[in-house]
Chains A and B, each alone.
Chain A
């Protein structure tokens, strides 16, 4: 085989490997692990309004994940089914009413500052129906945070001695949980990541491995269009 042909084949092989690696990294860092969910949109006064219902569970269970013991966020569709999808399609410039049902216990925040709700209407949330402007960071179970929106909401945990604690997801509202509600607004179209800031990944170094480093569990995107 001529040297020129060999050189061309090597160049093509390197280029193909580069493309494959690019696809792999792109997939790994964007949508791997979670299909997207288009949140239904209502129109109120001509403006888009979204009701986003999500729950946080200590163990996602074998029905929803190959990693049944991983902590996870779930989203509820219009049929009431809980799905392990953390890429949510939302309309731009919309009002988003969020309800979080938390079935998990407290892990505590590494940075107490994040216990203050920010980036939500009135910088205020309701917990089990009562308004709060901050929680005890030691009682934080998870956060819902969209850094690009400067949005942080710390979610308090279920008491350690609570009865009827949920084992595996999906969890019924009859089991012990906390209900957190708040409202925020999407802005311009974009691809915004959201994440949990509580080191809640049990058994991982500093509580920040596994589900904290995998899209589809404690991390995801807001696909605003």
Chain B
């Protein structure tokens, strides 16, 4: 049975320093847990490593997870220590604990540490956003432009109730039902909508950008090797929102060249009717719209 930690200390005995115990246990646990989290949990964090931007997001998530590990450790140690040390057995009479008193040192330390952690993460996040374009939609005038890129492939993502289509302005503005991208290529995705708000979400590529009518929402992605990836709509957009998914493909350069050539040939029957490539469109007619 545990002794009552709130009972007066017998004369001659040194008082138990609970705070020191908690801090030592916290530091030890954090020193063990943080590297383990970074090494073993980090690599399996979403969204994976299928694009440069996705890898960047895994790094971000690893840093965030590793940073909060000591915080979680502190909470864990505090709760476990409190529950075991200050637990009053059922047989003992309930008595009030010692009063809590203000401690300026603890408060200032707490505020300084938490502020430093939050500001450091904000700085890290901002730095990361500016590195590769981040994969997130940045609106029509992106701030985080990937630097040192000689060739950026342009692909327009067009959301409509309820499907995605794609235009390739570098290939005569041909429009397709499927998204094919060449491997190891920097791509500028220009995301827009013909009707309501959709959201283009290629999870494995680390790309998510709202598709707003009348807006060009720019997102960047650098592909890696060949793979297939899911595309979903992440904005509730009507009856078939849940079915608004596709499979995209990253293929070797030669396969992409062959595919886009075929698409241009197939698209020739309606290319005359396609509007000139633009960052967004105001479709007409809407004869039956209310």
Contact = CB atoms under 8 A, between A and B. Distances in A.
Nearest to B283: A110
A128 B165 CA distance: 29
Interface stretch (A85-93, A177-185, A206-214): A206-214
Contacts of B267: 113, 116
Interface in A106-155: 106-108, 110-116, 118, 123, 133-134, 136-138, 145, 147, 150, 152
B274 A112 contact: yes
Nearest to A215: B239
Interface of B: 158, 160-163, 165, 175, 177-178, 194-196, 238-240, 242-243, 246, 266-267, 269-270, 273-275, 283-290
A5 interface: no
Nearest to A204: B290
A114 B176 CA distance: 9
Given A108-B285, A110-B195, A134-B269, 13 more contacts: A107-B288, A108-B286, A110-B160, A111-B175, A112-B273, A116-B266, A116-B269, A133-B269, A195-B162, A203-B288, A204-B288, A208-B195, A215-B239
A92 B65 CA distance: 47
Interface string A69-95: 000000000000000000000000000
A183 B290 CA distance: 35
13 contacts: A107-B285, A107-B288, A110-B160, A110-B283, A110-B286, A111-B158, A111-B283, A112-B270, A112-B275, A116-B270, A145-B163, A197-B163, A207-B290
A137 B238 contact: no
B177 A199 contact: no
A202 B288 CA distance: 4
Interface in A185-204: 193, 195, 197, 199-204
Given A134-B269, A213-B238, A219-B240, A113 B274 contact: yes
Contacts of A150: 177-178
Nearest to B176: A113
A105 to B, nearest CB: 9
Most chain B beta-carbon neighbours within 10 Å: one of A145, A199, A212, A215: A199
A33 to B, nearest CB: 11
B23 to A, nearest CB: 38
A126 B22 CA distance: 80
Contacts of A44: none
Contacts of B195: 110, 199, 206, 208
A164 B246 CA distance: 42
A108 B238 CA distance: 21
B7 to A, nearest CB: 33
A187 B246 CA distance: 16
Contacts of B242: 29
A147 B163 contact: yes
Contact of A206 (B163, B239, B240, B289): B289
B288 A137 contact: no
Contacts of A162: none
B277 to A, nearest CB: 12
A205 interface: yes
B239 A214 contact: yes
Contact of A118 (B177, B275, B283, B290): B177
Contacts of B246: 147
Given A111-B194, A118-B266, A219 B290 contact: no
